[in-house]
Structure 1
Amino acid sequence: MKRLYNFIILASLLLSGTVWCHAQYTGIAPTSSPGLNIRHPLTTDRTILFPPQQDLTVLPNDVVTLSIFGVTPTFTDVERVALDGTIHLPMAGIIRIGGLTITAAEQKIARFLEEKELFHDAQVNLVLTEMPDHVVTLVGALEKTLPMVGQRRLLDVLSSAGGLPETASTVIKIDRPGVADSIYVDLGNDPSTSLAANIPVFAGDIITTGNVGAFYIVGAVGSPGAHALSGARPVTALMAVATAGGTLETAKRNDASIVRTTGNTRSVIPLPLKDIQEGKVADPVLQADDIVLVPTSILRSIFRTSNATAIVSLAVSMAALLR
């Protein structure tokens, strides 16, 4: 009887030999777990989000037509703004107007001519006749350059660029000339709140639309592999498991984990799926490149119906040989 018992144990180990591989992970896996679902803080300063209506701004490469009224004959000059923002006025010299609004540039030129004693109380009129660099640039999930004259709204610009794809993040980053920090807004997926993020966009803005990427799920699930994250809604761990066909009967649900890469650091975060399903633990939101590991229970794998039948058949055969 003892020999029969030993044969059963040996057969069990042979049948379950491949099971060990499902629970192994050979990558870098520090034991310290980072905080889950940390998001970049959104911009809340309304003076940055909704600045006052801005006049057109003079940019390098613009062609400006300068007219001075109230003098005889009327003075007119056409100049291209240099890369350093300067123009050369006949008889007056070099003056920098790049980065100024039209009104501010007109006032500065009038003072400049007064100081040079060329015109007194000159009425300066400045018109932008060519504006090659008055554009907004979109990078990331959307890669386009759109002409920009005056002020437009963010949703209008995104729509003109073809609209956000399904895999794009709803968090938008805007880098604006003259604003020290990047601007972050979240369009979300609720029309009633997305309007609050529909901020003005100006020429020179660089709009970054990020791809949310994909997550990977391996181990004791129905369809292991890569799955795309959604830009319109968060994907939690339970949603990811459901997307992968659910856990198999051999899964050790409370021993699952998330392998998360932050920079050059890879960390393992415990993921007790059973407790999450029972509402005892919060269901974490996955991030791009997260790997969800669902290990296999060796004992459950051994005593699955197919394996159990094979074990009994092997044990009976061995017992017959020992008679």
Structure 2
Amino acid sequence: MKRLFDFIILASLLLGGTAWCHAQYTGIAPTSSPGLNVHHPLTTDQAILFPSQQNLTVLPNDVVTISIFNVTPTFTDTERVSLDGTIHLPLAGVIHVGGLTITSAEQKIARVLEDKELFRDAQVNLVITDMPDHVVTLVGALDKTFPIVGQRRLLDVLSAAGGLPETASTIIKIDRPGLTDPIYVDLGNDPSTSVAANVPIFAGDIITTGNVGAFYIVGAVAIPGAHVLSGARPVTALMAVATAGGATEVAKRNDASLVRTIGNTRSVIPLPLKDIQEGKIPDPVLQADDIILVPTSALRSIFRYSNAAALVSLAVSMAAILR
């Protein structure tokens, strides 16, 4: 009778897998983990993120009125900035002002006038009277273009564009005229920290909002297939398995693996789900196109029965053999 009882206990554990084992969750894997969670570095230079002053930038197709004071007679001229960013001033000739701020354009025009000995100590004033192309452009998860005058904030612009979709990444890329490298900020999902990423936005900025994509789970899970990642919060390996309905009773959870493709390089990374659940190792964050493979245990497959009656029948048969 004892052998029968022991066999029932063993078969129950095989059918239940390791779901009976619980442990304290220890957090996600750090972004520096080898082969896991490598993101583009965020911009940290506060002078770039929050410029102290930035007046309007002269853009192609703008109409500008240039007045020169402290001279006799007073000089005034209105020009449209050409597509190559130049204007043609009478006597002074062609001057490139596209991409310059109003202050920088005024200073450049004054230098040209003095170099050509047309005026001395000229006070140049430039006013943009028409600005048809002063827009901000959003591409990626949001695909919109709308006018912007002066300085706005990132959250204001995203809100005006309809807000970030649930599947959009919280990491935002901003390409700004005059800067060599793009600006990267992470809005995250915590309002108390997203304020720090609410950077100023100016006309001419191109804001890229990426879709976070999907991950895939195959093998011994209840719902294998593709699952959409969330842009509002990180999805870890354990969360992904839970999204797929959990590992089945025949799963070899500690033999699972993560297949990650970066560029043309595909890596297979061990993913011991049981050790992760027990808090022995961190729970890695998934990226777009990650594939989780959960293999099947041949031994557990042999003992897989759909109801308790079949289990008892098997136990009775084995007990008879063991007599």
Q: How does 1:130-209 map to 2 (within 5 A)?
A: 130-209=130-209
User: 1: CA distance between counterparts of 2:91 and 2:117?
Assistant: 11
Which amino acid is 1:253 matched to? Answer: R
Q: Return the offset for 1:102.
A: 1.3
| Number of the residue aligned with 2:40 | 40
| Number of the residue aligned with 1:295 | 295
Which amino acid is 1:261 matched to? Answer: T
Residue 105 of structure 1 pairs with residue 105 of structure 2:
yes
Structure 1 ranges of 4+ moved more than 6 A: none
Which SS does the other structure have where 1:99 is aligned? coil
The TM-score, its normalising length taken from structure 2, stands at: 0.81
User: 1: CA distance between counterparts of 2:271 and 2:116?
Assistant: 75
Which amino acid is 2:253 matched to? Answer: R
Provide closer, same or farther for how the CA distance between residues 305 and 107 of structure 1 changes in structure 2, counting only shifts above 3 A.
Answer: closer
Give aligned pairs, total: 281
Residue 50 of structure 1 pairs with residue 14 of structure 2:
no
| Number of the residue aligned with 2:321 | none
Q: Return the offset for 1:34.
A: 5.6
Q: Return the offset for 1:165.
A: 0.5
User: 2: CA distance between counterparts of 1:132 and 1:122?
Assistant: 29
Which amino acid is 1:104 matched to? Answer: S
8 Å contact kept, 2:99–2:178: no
User: 1: CA distance between counterparts of 2:40 and 2:118?
Assistant: 54
8 Å contact kept, 2:219–2:295: yes
Q: Return the offset for 1:201.
A: 1.2
| Number of the residue aligned with 2:84 | 84
Q: Return the offset for 1:121.
A: 3.8
Which SS does the other structure have where 2:169 is aligned? strand
Q: Return the offset for 1:306.
A: 4.8
Q: Write out per-residue CA displacement over residues 262-313 of structure 1, whole angstroms, 9 at most, x where no aligned residue.
A: 1122221111111111111211111111111111111111111259959x99
8 Å contact kept, 1:34–1:267: no
User: 2: CA distance between counterparts of 1:49 and 1:211?
Assistant: 23
239-248 or 82-91: bigger deviation: 82-91
| Number of the residue aligned with 1:118 | 118
Provide closer, same or farther for how the CA distance between residues 264 and 112 of structure 1 changes in structure 2, counting only shifts above 3 A.
Answer: closer
Q: Return the offset for 1:83.
A: 2.5
Residue 211 of structure 1 pairs with residue 198 of structure 2:
no
Q: Return the offset for 1:42.
A: 1.0
Which amino acid is 1:178 matched to? Answer: G
8 Å contact kept, 2:185–2:197: yes
| Number of the residue aligned with 2:278 | 278
Q: Return the offset for 1:107.
A: 2.8
Provide closer, same or farther for how the CA distance between residues 183 and 300 of structure 1 changes in structure 2, counting only shifts above 3 A.
Answer: same
Which amino acid is 1:180 matched to? Answer: T
Q: Write out per-residue CA displacement over residues 211-256 of structure 1, whole angstroms, 9 at most, x where no aligned residue.
A: 1111111111111111111111111111011111111111111111
| Number of the residue aligned with 1:75 | 75
Q: Return the offset for 1:92.
A: 2.5
The TM-score, its normalising length taken from structure 1, stands at: 0.81
Which amino acid is 1:102 matched to? Answer: I
User: 2: CA distance between counterparts of 1:145 and 1:194?
Assistant: 23
| Number of the residue aligned with 2:10 | none
User: 2: CA distance between counterparts of 1:277 and 1:110?
Assistant: 69
User: 2: CA distance between counterparts of 1:57 and 1:306?
Assistant: 71
Q: Return 5+ residue gaps in structure 2 as ranges.
A: 1-32, 318-323
| Number of the residue aligned with 2:236 | 236
Q: Return the offset for 1:208.
A: 1.0
The percent identity for this pair of structures is 83
8 Å contact kept, 2:59–2:81: yes
User: 2: CA distance between counterparts of 1:167 and 1:60?
Assistant: 35
Which amino acid is 2:252 matched to? Answer: K
